[in-house]
């Protein structure tokens, strides 16, 4: 009996041990991911961490977009530390998938057919000949923003061509001096005018060749049409975010209209700390068309992406976070932001999420009329020739274009300065720079 008791005790111990081990093993099996986001994405990322409690251990970290490359290079040296999924600016995909950096996973085997379909052409930015290396968070297509109160007061109609846009500016200069059609001293000039005009500034044709040609008629027509508006002051040579421009023009209610991205209303026109344009003034319209073109193209100022690290142990869970951010109502509509607003502030690149966001923005009483139709129209008209490149094409606007336009007030000189600067950057990184 004693021997039988011992056997029973051992058996019981195994069962008890198994019962004790099982929860530990289950806990260890829960995937763990680290997420890096910027401030606008932080509320949604924190919500996701809460939603996934018990399913995925989610660590959320706030990181500035500019420090990603240096951090990844450090992680590559020490062989650890890589975040599983990162939100970043659109050009990051070219930098991160560079074999020398190798921190953008090819997502073709992870994305389901339904997900691919729901991203549609909005995700073309993330695709190359070798695969899909990111997914788009939002689109930042340019549209025409205008003040309906000023348009009514001045007797204006919404321009549908760039020639009409220039004529509008000439009339403002003559009859309403001090009023503005926006600014050209930052990257917004590229997104609003050069990119829609198809000016070849960052047109990567392969991993080793990029087209940069500021002498192209698609570039020079921009300078020729808009230079009189710069000369008259209707187009300001400061940045939109220059404190003087914000005070003297934005907050003074002097912007009759401007061309800007789909996030413009939420981040620039409405906020009290920015232009603070009152409710009931702002509407949108499709982009004006350049002469001789069949399509009124948009450019894109922003339009963030998610990249998944090839070092991630749980890449599908990392991708799931991105899909939540672009497709789940809890982030797109109901999450509370630090400023008291609710939901995602930008135009989702994912069809199911876009439908949710449409309902939110379309019913927003801040706008004089529904801003969504123009955004939707332009979402499929982002000129596809511009591509992500390995050099800092965005930073070059501040480094080369802005100093020249401030000094000379000459658009073509400033465009040429930008072209020379990025041509040098491209060659340093091994690109062959061609004119066509």
Could you give the dihedral angle defined by the CA atoms of residues 139, 140, 142 and 145, in that order, rounded to the nearest 10 degrees? 110
Share of the chain above pLDDT 70, in %: 94
120 within a domain of the structure (yes/no): yes
The pTM score is: 0.91
- What total number of domains does the chain contain? 2
The predicted-structure confidence for 348-362, as pLDDT tens digits, reads as follows 999 999 999 999 999
CATH number of the domain bearing residue 48: 3.40.190.10
Q: Confidence class of residue 66 from pLDDT cuts 50, 70 and 90? A: confident
Distance CA 142, CA 165 (A): 15
The sign one gets for the Cα dihedral 50, 52, 58, 63 is negative
How far, in Å, CA of 236 to CA of 20, rounded? 70
425 shares a domain with 326: no
pLDDT at residue number 13: 38
For residue 220, tell me if it sits in a domain: yes
More confident of the two residues 338 and 213: 213
- Structural domain includes residue 149: yes
20 pLDDT more than 80: no
In this prediction, residues 180-205 reach a mean pLDDT of 97
Same domain, 314 and 334: yes
pLDDT at 408 over 60: yes
Rounded to whole angstroms, the Cα distance separating 228 from 105 reads 47
Q: Per residue in 88-122, pLDDT tens?
A: 999 999 999 999 999 999 999 999 999 999 999 99
Check residues 22 and 252 and name the one with the higher pLDDT.
252
In a domain, 357, yes or no: no
User: What confidence tens digit (pLDDT) does each residue in 256-312 have?
Assistant: 999 999 999 999 999 999 999 999 999 999 999 999 999 999 999 999 999 999 999
Range of the domain at 328: 11-136+304-345
- Kindly state whether residues 333 and 396 are assigned to the same domain: no
pLDDT for residue 11 is more than 80: no
pLDDT of residue 43: 96
Q: What is the pLDDT of residues 159-181, one digit of tens each?
A: 999 999 999 999 999 999 999 99
């Amino acid at each position: 009996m004693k021997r039988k008791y011992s056997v029973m005790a051992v058996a019981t111990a195994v069962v008890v041990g198994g019962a004790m081990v099982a929860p530990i093993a289950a806990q260890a099996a829960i995937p763990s991911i680290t997420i890096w986001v910027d401030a606008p994405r932080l509320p949604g990322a924190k919500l996701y961490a809460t939603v996934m409690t018990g399913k995925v251990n989610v660590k959320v970290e706030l990181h500035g977009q500019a420090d990603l490359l240096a951090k990844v290079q450090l992680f590559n040296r020490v062989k650890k530390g890589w975040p599983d999924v990162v939100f970043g600016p659109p050009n990051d995909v070219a930098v991160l998938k560079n074999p020398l950096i190798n921190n953008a996973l090819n997502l073709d085997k992870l994305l389901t057919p339904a997900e691919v379909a729901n991203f549609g052409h909005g995700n073309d930015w993330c695709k190359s000949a070798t695969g899909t290396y990111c997914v788009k968070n939002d689109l930042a297509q340019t549209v025409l923003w205008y003040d309906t109160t000023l348009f009514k007061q001045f007797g204006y109609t919404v321009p549908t061509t760039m020639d009409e846009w220039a004529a509008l500016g000439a009339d403002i200069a003559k009859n309403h001096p001090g009023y503005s059609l926006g600014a050209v001293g930052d990257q917004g000039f590229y997104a609003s005018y050069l990119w829609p005009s198809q000016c070849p500034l960052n047109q990567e044709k392969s991993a080793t060749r990029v087209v940069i040609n500021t002498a192209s008629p698609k570039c020079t027509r921009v300078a020729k049409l808009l230079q009189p508006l710069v000369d008259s002051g209707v187009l300001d040579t400061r940045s939109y975010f220059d404190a003087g421009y914000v005070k003297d023009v934005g907050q003074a209610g002097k912007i009759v209209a401007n061309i800007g991205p789909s996030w413009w209303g939420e981040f620039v026109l409405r906020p009290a700390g920015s232009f603070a344009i009152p409710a009931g003034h702002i509407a949108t319209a499709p982009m004006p068309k350049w002469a001789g073109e069949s399509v009124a193209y948009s450019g894109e100022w922003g339009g963030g992406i998610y990249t998944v690290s090839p070092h991630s142990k749980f890449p599908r869970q990392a991708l799931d976070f991105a899909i939540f951010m672009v497709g789940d109502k809890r982030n797109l509509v109901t999450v509370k932001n630090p400023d008291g607003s609710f939901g995602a502030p930008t135009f989702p690149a994912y069809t199911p999420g876009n439908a949710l966001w449409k309902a939110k923005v379309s019913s927003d009483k801040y706008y004089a009329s529904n801003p969504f139709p123009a955004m939707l129209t332009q979402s499929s008209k982002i000129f596809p020739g511009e591509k992500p490149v390995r050099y800092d094409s965005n930073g070059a606007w501040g480094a080369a274009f802005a100093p020249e336009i401030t000094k000379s007030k000459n658009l073509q000189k400033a465009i040429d300065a930008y072209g020379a600067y990025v041509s040098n950057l491209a060659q340093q990184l091994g690109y062959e720079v061609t004119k066509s």
